[in-house]
Amino acid sequence: MNSEQIEKFKQEIECIIKEKNYISLRYVLFDETNRTPFAVHIFYKDGLFMVNSRDERAYVIGRTFEFDNFSEAEKKFFNVLDFIVREGRRDISNRGSYMYSSPLWDKP
Taking only the tens place, the pLDDT of each residue in 17-56 is: 999 999 999 999 999 899 999 999 999 999 999 999 999 9
Helix axes 3-19, 70-94, angle to 10 degrees: 40
Cβ(24)–Cβ(86) under 8 Å? no
Cα maximum dimension of the chain:
45
The pLDDT value given to residue 108 = 66
Residue 103, pLDDT > 90, answer yes
In three-state secondary structure terms, 108 is coil
Interatomic CA distance for residues 5 and 59, integer angstroms: 27
The pLDDT value given to residue 86 = 96
Interatomic CA distance for residues 62 and 33, integer angstroms: 17
